[in-house]
Amino acid sequence: MFQKIEAKVLGVFMATEKGSFITEERAEVQVEFGGIPGDLHFGLTKKAGEREPMYEKGTEIFNRRQISIVSAEECAEVAQLLKIEEVRPEWLGANLIVEGIDNFTLLKEGSRIVFPSGAALLCEGANHPCIHPGKVIQSQYPEKKIAGKFVKMAYDRRGIVCVVEKPGIIKKGDKAVIHSYEHFKGKVELSN
């Protein structure tokens, strides 16, 4: 039911500046139930926004977007598609950047990422690109037209969002084990 894949943590990040989703690198982060204390997205609950159109804006709802992770491979692909040198995890507001997983954004919901400290994250699914990081990338490359292209190019390369399943420390350089959840297609068909 689970397949194990090794991944390397290339960097860990937090967003601590009021009014900005841009993250800054740290040597390590402590994760608790709810996310990374002090980070913009920390909390077991959050206020509903544009990503939750079924709720009135500002409604208190469970926070399934506690931690966001991107992959080095997909950031490089987005940079290539945008014809720029790099797309940095900070510009995307990512909390982690990992390396070593093909099509990381497509990691099946229910997969777990387990770190050496025992900390573990539960994959809640793909993060959907929105315009805001496109504007940040644009500001880094003012001579190019990027902002409008970002959403399309980053689709299915924007990484995943996670819930903290087990508290602990996540460090730059950690070797994480991804327990990749594979849905077994074994449904017995009805005969009539």
Name the residues that contact a copy of itself, by CB under 8 A: 1-2, 33, 44-45, 52-55, 59-62, 64, 77, 80-81, 109-110, 112, 114, 120, 122, 124-126, 128, 152-153, 155-157, 163-166, 177, 179, 183-188, 190
Q: Judging by DSSP bridges, how do beta strands 96-99 and 67-71 pair with one another?
A: parallel
CB of 100 to a copy of itself, least distance (A): 18
What tokens appear for 157 in the block? 């390369």
Closest to a copy of itself by CB, 166 or 172: 166
- Smallest separation (angstroms) from a copy of itself to the CB of 20: 26
Q: Which is nearer to a copy of itself, 24 or 60 (CB)?
A: 60
For the bound state, the minimum distance from the C-beta of residue 25 to a copy of itself, rounded and expressed in Å, comes to 26
Of 28 and 109, nearer to a copy of itself (C-beta) is 109
> DSSP state, 127?
P
Smallest distance from the beta carbon of 38 to a copy of itself, in angstroms?
A: 19
**Residue 76 CB neighbours (<10 A):** 13
Q: How far is the CB of 146 from a copy of itself (least distance, A)?
A: 14
Q: Which residues contact 110 (CB under 8 A, 6 or more apart)?
A: 122, 123, 181
| Nearest by Cα to 29 from 14, 18, 44 | 14
Alpha helices by DSSP H, listed for the chain, are 72-82, 131-140, 147-154
Residues near 73 by Cβ (< 8 Å), separated by ≥ 6? 99, 101, 102, 104
The two structure tokens encoding residue 74: 């997909």
56 or 142: whose CB is closer to a copy of itself? 56
Q: Based on CB atoms, which residue is closest to a copy of itself, 96 or 119?
A: 119
